[in-house]
Amino acid sequence: MKHLLWLLKWMLKAAIFFTLFAFALNNQEDVTVRFFFGTHWHTPLVLVVLSTFTLGVAVGVLGMVPRWWMHRKAARRTIAPPPVVPPPTASSAAAAPSPSSLPPHGI
């Protein structure tokens, strides 16, 4: 099962890679991106599209970071610490029933 999931992940990664590679090969024409104040950038179309996509993903992730931190902080507050069990003493060991006196299988 573990190997199947590993194989499926790698197949998905390979499919994404080859899709992006084919996209890059099909969009090699030079374009001019015009910025403010007369500045411009001459580059292949694939670089413009992929850099715009990357910038959009980065802005989306940065926009979600405060919410992730807030949820993480709330989750840490709701987790109760494990109960503290005092170490056994000689008197509590004597009061505990022996394993042979207990019914079989917890019945």
Question: Are 73 and 64 contacting, i.e. CB atoms less than 8 angstroms apart?
Answer: no
Q: Tens digit of pLDDT for each residue in 47-83?
A: 888 888 899 999 999 999 999 888 888 888 877 667 7
| pTM, 2 dp | 0.48
Rounded distance between C-alpha atoms, residue 10 and residue 4, angstroms: 10
Amino acid letter, residue 55:
L
pLDDT band, residue 30 (cuts 50/70/90): confident
Q: Which of 26, 30, 53 is nearest to 40 (CA)?
A: 30
Q: Residues 36-45: pLDDT tens digits?
A: 888 888 888 8
Portion of the chain with pLDDT greater than 90, in percent: 17
